[in-house]
Amino acid sequence: MSSSQPIRALEFYSGIGGLHYALLKSRPEAEVLKAFDWDPTSCQVYQANHGPIIYRKDISALKAAELADLNANIWLMSPACQPYTVLNPDAKGAQDPRALSFLHIVGFVLPELAKSDAHPRCILVENVAGFETSSTRQDLRATLKAIGYDTLELLLTPLQYGIPNSRPRYYMLARRGGSHFPLENKVWRNIPDCKEDAQVVAIREYLDTDVDEASGVPEKVLKKWGRLFDIVKPSSARSCCFTRGYRHLVERSGSILQEAEELDTTQVFDEFVSAGDVTVLQPLRLRYFTPSELLRIFAFDEPHFVWPPTVSTKTKYRLIGNSINVRVVQALITYLLEGV
Ligand SMILES: C[S@@+](CC[C@H](N)C(=O)[O-])C[C@H]1O[C@@H](n2cnc3c(N)ncnc32)[C@H](O)[C@@H]1O
């Protein structure tokens, strides 16, 4: 969008507003007109940070006419990923009821708006890696093409932006009436013509200075599941993907931190196994990442981010784990808008 044209966005599946932050970091003058989510706590957190533009609503119930009146020129969308996640062996894709609202908005509402040329100039869709093999992705591409969009698909991770966290995510960018994306028909692993491969910063740059004991990993958890954890140190240049199940699930829900940098993790765990005594692990000082550390890793403007006082720590983890990496999406929005 040319810099003289106001950017007016709608945010669907807004959660705690990661896409909103990404848009503002890319284009500070942009305005999010309305955001939609049906989860009451997400809406409460969103409102605390972005004001009363959040509508608690089932997106399946949105009508073309109400969206046309808003006259937005960019839509930002991060629909539920459970239907598509490879972590769920029973994922049903488009057959999952949680996929319905996205099929409604893309398959019905957008084409309806296109009849009166009221569809947005640009669209960004975010989902889990794995979405690219779904029938929903094929339908999305076909629908967007049929109503005049040029599309580009990518799989990116924050590691490419120097952030020590793996979070591979699928993105689709769509625009109409602007310059064309490269013709090559593939899922891109970097933004075209943009070599972002930054030096990854160590985890220690993201850590709180003062962490209370509640973040420690309980001994009973370590005793039963300790060997399954992905463990990183302050000097590590990686961590694994943090999900909404962080602190509930052990495997594949995110890394824990070993504060004792100097100790050899494997050696201490071997001693624990042979001694059968969990206290052997104490010198490692194993703990969970705190919500504020995760917000920093997700590139949220952490010191200014507000949690309403009623939101529990457990809920904070759920909401952050559902969210997006702001830095990655910022780069995508910049690229998307440059071509319009
Ligand atoms: C993957 S999360 C998106 C998170 C968001 N981008 C953020 O930064 O926090 C999906 C969100 O969609 C919401 N959601 C799922 N289905 C919905 C529906 N039918 N109507 C409204 N919101 C829905 C969930 O409550 C959740 O907040």
> How far apart (Å, rounded) are the C-alpha atoms in residues 255 and 237?
12
Q: How many CA atoms lie within 13 A of 285 on its CB side?
A: 10
In whole angstroms, what is the distance from residue 93 CA to residue 108 CA?
Answer: 18
Helix, strand or coil, per DSSP, at residue 242: coil
**What does the domain layout of the chain look like in residue ranges?**
8-197+324-338, 203-318
List 316's β-bridge partners, or say none: none
Query: Which tokens belong to 103?
Result: 């099929």
- Determine the Cα–Cα distance for residues 321 and 284; give it in Å rounded to an integer: 25
ipTM of the complex as predicted: 0.99
Residue 13 CA to ligand 1 centre (angstroms): 4
Q: What is the whole-number distance in angstroms between the Cα of residue 191 and the centre of ligand 1?
A: 25
Tell me the C-alpha distance between 111 and 120, whole Å: 11
According to DSSP, residue 257 is labeled: E
Q: What is the pLDDT of residues 118-146, one digit of tens each?
A: 999 999 999 999 999 888 899 999 999 99
Ligand 1: list residues with CB < 6 Å: 13-19, 36-39, 42, 58-60, 78, 80-81, 101, 322-324
pLDDT digits (tens, 9 = 90+) for 234-293: 999 999 999 999 988 777 899 999 999 999 999 999 999 999 999 999 999 999 999 999
Q: Is 170 helix (H, G, I), strand (E, B) or coil?
A: strand
DSSP sequence for 14-30: -TT-HHHHHHHHH-TT-
Atom of ligand 1 nearest to the CA of 37: 22
pLDDT digits (tens, 9 = 90+) for 56-113: 999 999 999 999 999 999 999 999 887 777 666 666 777 777 778 999 999 999 999 9
Q: Which atom of ligand 1 is nearest to the CA of 81?
A: 1
Distance 272 CA to ligand 1 centre (A): 42
For the CA of 319, the nearest atom of ligand 1: 9
Distance 277 CA to ligand 1 centre (A): 43
Q: Is 150 helix (H, G, I), strand (E, B) or coil?
A: strand
Give the residue from 21, 36, 185 showing the smallest Cα distance to 109.
Answer: 36
**Would you state the pLDDT for residue 252?**
80
CA 145 to ligand 1 center in whole angstroms: 25
Distance CA 329, CA 85 (A): 19
Closest residue by Cα to atom 12, ligand 1, is 13
What is the per-residue pLDDT for 3?
58
Nearest atom within ligand 1 for CA of residue 58:
20
User: If we measure between CA atoms, which residue out of 231, 304, 236 comes closest to residue 268?
Assistant: 231
Q: Identify the active-site residue in 81, 122, 194, 240.
A: 81
Q: Please, are residues 190 and 196 in contact by the beta-carbon 8 Å criterion?
A: yes
Output the CATH code of domain 203-318.
Answer: 3.90.120.10
What are the counts of helices (DSSP H) followed by strands (DSSP E) for the chain?
11, 11
Mutate to test the pocket of ligand 1, among 87, 128, 298, 322 (most ligand atoms within 8 A of CB): 322
For the chain, where are the E strands, in sequence order?
8-12, 31-37, 54-56, 74-77, 122-128, 150-156, 169-175, 187-188, 231-232, 256-258, 286-287
- Rounded to an integer, what distance in angstroms lies between the CA atom of residue 149 and that of residue 77? 16
- CA 10 to centroid of ligand 1, rounded, Å: 14
Q: Distances in Å between the alpha carbon of 40 and those of 46, 55, 126, 133?
A: 10, 10, 22, 31
- What's the half-sphere exposure (Cβ side, CA atoms, 13 Å) at 25? 19
Q: Which atom of ligand 1 is nearest to the CA of 98?
A: 16
Q: Which residue has the higher pLDDT, 38 or 5?
A: 38
- When pLDDT is averaged across residues 42-56 and rounded to a whole number, the result is 98
Instruction: Select the CATH number that applies to the domain covering 8-197+324-338 from these four: 1.10.490.10, 3.40.50.150, 3.40.50.2300, 1.25.40.10.
Output: 3.40.50.150
Ligand 1, atom 16: nearest CA belongs to which residue?
80
Each residue of 297-314: b (16+ CB within 10 Å) or e? bbbbebeebebeeebeee
Residue 209 clears pLDDT 70, i.e. is over it? yes
- Can 81 be counted among the known catalytic residues? yes
